[in-house]
Amino acid sequence: MRITLEMPAVLTCEVSECVYNVKGACHARAITIGDGVHPGCDTFLRGSARHTHRGDNAGVGACKVTGCRHNDDFECTAASIGVGMEQGSVNCMTFEAR
């Protein structure tokens, strides 16, 4: 069975050491953002191996950052997001405080 959902796309990922990053694009099926306060990418997985099932780019499956203006009932309402490094952490760069 295949489930199709509309999710905001992860347009760019600047975190080259993540196994899901292939040429600047995230190829996880979906990512989760945040721990309730910080907009970190919970799907980040450091490694030298690369994800080999390069289908579509990832979508944002869940957002746990309740203080983000794009969060509506734990889902991201931004049209798309970018992921990158900020102060040594892998974060959603689209985060905006309410």
pLDDT digits 0-9 by tens, 66-96:
999 999 999 999 999 999 999 999 999 999 9
Radius of gyration over every alpha carbon of the chain, rounded to an integer in angstroms: 13
Predicted TM-score of the model (pTM): 0.91
Angle at 14 between CA 67 and CA 88, to 5 degrees: 60
What's the pLDDT tens digit per position in 41-50?
A: 999 999 988 8
Q: What is the DSSP letter of 57?
A: P
